[in-house]
Chain A
Amino acid sequence: PRARLLCGPGLRRSGAGLLVTKCGLLRHRPAGGGAYWVDSQQKRYVPVKGDHVIGIVTAKAGDVFRLDVGGSEPASLSYLAFEGATKRNRPNLQVGDLVYGQFVVANKDMEPEMVCIDSSGKSSGMGIIGQDGFLFKVSLGLIRKLLAPKCEIIQELSQLYPFELVLGMNGRIWVKAKTVQQTLIIVNILEACEYMTAQQRKQALAKLSGN
């Protein structure tokens, strides 16, 4: 019986065969009819519909905010796209604030549009990110690793200190812990996780929790 083969990111169908469009490692998953995709390292983010990202407010233009999301164009965010926002009750966003939202329109021909509510009108964790904390940029592959269920890095770090963490698919991470020193330690560990093996990471964390 013929099954449907899924052609994932990095591959494109061409005539009778498949063409590789990105450089990286070819992966295969035999479950559910089989899926092939290419794992590639990338730092530059391309907006995709449905992705949750962290944006920085750069301008207010009428009733729309312009956010920098790390793509080729700034994204637009309407002031009505927040939970409980009406024409009288505007959200309190200033230039330079951080916003966690998802894309509703994101393609190569138009300017991307973001919202901070989901399809039922609830915010479900999205919205303005509070004061303090630290924002930094990592590669997209590390974000995908951190977002996997039961990620070891996050479990080990949470045993070190309690902290708040927001992960944006555009490579941006926001961290806030009790003191500035703890925040910076977590930032350094997360940045180094890109290149450390699991063994090295456990050693570094053991050294820190011993102090």
Chain B
Amino acid sequence: RQPLSPCVAGERLCSTEEATAGSGTYTRHGFIFSSLAGCLERTNEDSELPVVSVVRDSESQLLPNVGAVVTCKVCSINSRFAKVHILYVGSTPLKSTFRGTIRREDIRATEKDKVEVYKSFRPSDIVLAKVISLGDAQSNYLLSTAENELGVVVARSEAGVQMVPISWCEMQCPRTHTKEFRKVARVQPQFLQT
């Protein structure tokens, strides 16, 4: 690799005939521009053209893509949607949390109009969800739990004790024996640890 040189967002790097655009860059009018403020990296000729990319930190930030399974924590609920903080993408933790939204109609795959957000999620639940869209201008990822393997994984009861799932829609507190409604994820047996 060539030695790194700093560049700012919007800086014109080179033309598309000399190199192909990599991560952190975009092409306009036949030229490659940088979209981040960071260090310019240019890979040597592997196939035909070198790849030009801009890197911000030494490790590249993993962004959730459409279709990725993410682990998030519910921060607030509403009668129409639940707001979450995205903590992990796949199995890698994120350095800064992103915000996501799970709409009421994306919680379940069947009987979408009978869903009650209060009976599916509560604040401070850990939820497995899938990204369905990168979101609108407020940078809220749009998430969905409309599959059997997605939903609440860890939840605490009103008494503060971690609950045990008993069906796909109920969890029970081991101390007070009260049942609470959640949309429970069916975790694959190989990932369960007892």
Minimal beta-carbon separation of A65 from chain B (angstroms) = 16
- A109 in the interface (beta carbon within 8 A): yes
CA distance A191 to B122 in the complex (A): 40
B56-70 interface bits toward A, Cβ cutoff 8 Å, 1 = contact, 0 = none: 000000000000000
Taking CB atoms, residues of chain A closer than 8 Å to B175 are 14-15
- A13 in the interface (beta carbon within 8 A): yes
Minimal beta-carbon separation of A44 from chain B (angstroms) = 19
Interface range, A side: 10 to 19
- A200 in the interface (beta carbon within 8 A): no
Taking CB atoms, residues of chain A closer than 8 Å to B78 are 110-111
Total B residues in contact with A, Cβ cutoff 8 Å:
13
Query: What residues make up the interface of B, taking CB atoms closer than 8 Å to A?
Result: 76-79, 117-118, 122-123, 159, 175-178
Query: What residues make up the interface of A, taking CB atoms closer than 8 Å to B?
Result: 12-15, 105, 107, 109-111, 113
Taking CB atoms, residues of chain B closer than 8 Å to A12 are 159, 176
Instruction: Please state if A13 and B79 are interface contacts (CB–CB under 8 Å).
Output: no
Instruction: Please state if A110 and B176 are interface contacts (CB–CB under 8 Å).
Output: no
Residue ID in chain A nearest B173 by CB atoms: A13
CA distance A181 to B118 in the complex (A): 48
Contact of B77 among A14, A109, A113 (CB under 8 A): A109
Identify the interface centre among A15, A109, A110, A111: most chain B CB within 10 Å of its CB. Answer: A109
Residue ID in chain B nearest A105 by CB atoms: B79
> Knowing A110-B77, A113-B79 touch, does A105 contact B176 (C-beta < 8 A)?
no
Residue ID in chain A nearest B124 by CB atoms: A109
Residue ID in chain A nearest B76 by CB atoms: A109
Minimal beta-carbon separation of A30 from chain B (angstroms) = 24
Taking CB atoms, residues of chain A closer than 8 Å to B176 are 12-14
Contact of A110 among B79, B159, B177, B178 (CB under 8 A): B79
CA distance A151 to B176 in the complex (A): 37
> Knowing A13-B176, A14-B175, A15-B175 touch, does A109 contact B159 (C-beta < 8 A)?
no
> Knowing A15-B175, A113-B79 touch, does A105 contact B118 (C-beta < 8 A)?
yes
Residue ID in chain B nearest A76 by CB atoms: B79
9 closest A-B pairs by beta carbon, nearest first, are A13-B176, A109-B123, A109-B77, A109-B122, A110-B77, A15-B175, A110-B118, A107-B118, A14-B175
